[in-house]
Amino acid sequence: MRILHLLNHTKRLNGHVHAAVDLACAQVQLGHSVAIASGGGDFDALLTSKGVESKFLNHDRRPSALPGALTSLRQLERQWRPDVIHAHMMTSAVLAWPICKIARIPLVTTVHNEFQKSSILMGLGTRVIAVSDAVQQSMEKRGVPKTKLRVVLNGTIGSARFEGKDRSPQRLDGPSILFVGGLHPRKGLPDLFKAFDIVSGQNQAARLYVVGDGPHRAEYAHLVSTLNCSTAVTFFGALDEPFPFLMGADIFVLPSHADPAPLVLSEAREAGCAVIATKVDGIPQLLEYGKAGILVATRDPDALARAICSLLQSPHALQEWRDKSQYNIDHLTIARVARDTLEIYADASRQVRGRSEMRANPNQA
């Protein structure tokens, strides 16, 4: 199969980019011809080394830029002749929809950021991939037909992005509690800081490490400076390779207010962390509904603090939840994600072929 992925760019530290890069590389490994058309970025060299072709496509959202992008995509479709186009963001879906209609090829879209209002445009796809059951339910409520929707739960184990990287554990003082992610309000960092202030009062040796960056970093650093635990919190900023920190941490905490299917949970489980996360969106599914991690209510620092303290106070409980993180871990492989996605391509292709045959032979309908 010839598969053309559309992305706005291939820069690091963007979850939808990581997911698309992982998928494209895995599809090549399965014997398919794969290209990514995007504005380019950090992963282009990796993609080339894995046999994924990189094509330039401007994803500028300005209305004046769209006609040129449509023309470029139409030319690329004619030259490269994909069997399916897979769009990963709203602009990609809008550009691909008329091209796929003209060429009579399936358009598959993936809803990575369901919390964005514009994600409803991903419903333009012949098939619409939701990255968790929660996202599927949300998109259905927003008007995307159930017949279009399919779930492919995110996974990262076996990612080409990690090949050849030093995965030795980062030494962390502790007991160590780690957060990895963007410093955005939906990630719930203030709840974690308030919870850790409680934890630190009961266990002065505990340390909190924050890996990631974002527009609210200065605000969060100021908030921490006002708390009694301030000297026990370290901001590391954004890191290209956070996995060694996951390997070195005792507990991984994700206090999100909204999170469709965060890749970092797959990585934290692979690293063997005890995991505590909020019961919201796709998080419970990624934690096997509590079998692979502790689930707490969102926006509840007291509940978060109790969960953390329950592990810090009992080495047995901490090791038990480390072990539980490995429950059904094979379901989080990128190979499984690739296989599930290829099945959806085949399903979408059958639908498009059926429609074409009906147009060609209307009397047989």
* pLDDT tens, position by position, 12-48: 989 999 999 999 999 999 999 999 999 999 999 999 9
Q: Please state the domain extents for the chain.
A: 2-155+333-364, 162-329
Instruction: Answer yes or no: is pLDDT of 144 > 60.
Output: yes
> pLDDT digits over 206-241, tens only?
999 999 999 999 999 999 999 999 999 999 999 989
Instruction: Answer yes or no: is pLDDT of 81 > 90.
Output: yes
Between residues 363 and 107, which one has the greater pLDDT?
107
Compute the mean pLDDT over every residue in the chain, rounded to the nearest whole number.
Answer: 95
pLDDT above 90: percentage of residues in the chain: 91
Instruction: Answer yes or no: is pLDDT of 358 > 70.
Output: no
Instruction: Answer yes or no: is pLDDT of 357 > 80.
Output: no
The span from the CA of 317 to the CA of 274, in Å, is 9
Work out the average pLDDT over 290-311. 98
The span from the CA of 4 to the CA of 86, in Å, is 6
Amino acid at position 328, single letter: N
Indicate the fold that domain 162-329 takes in CATH.
Rossmann fold (3.40.50)
Work out the average pLDDT over 307-321. 98
pTM comes to 0.94
Instruction: Answer yes or no: is pLDDT of 108 > 70.
Output: yes
Whether 176 and 248 have beta carbons less than 8 Å apart is answered as yes
pLDDT classification of 362: cutoffs 50, 70, 90: low
Q: Domain 2-155+333-364 maps to which CATH number in 1.20.1420.30, 3.60.10.10, 3.40.50.2000, 3.40.50.300? A: 3.40.50.2000
Q: Which pLDDT score, from 0 to 100, does residue 174 have?
A: 86
Instruction: Answer yes or no: is pLDDT of 175 > 80.
Output: yes
Q: Which pLDDT score, from 0 to 100, does residue 61 have?
A: 85
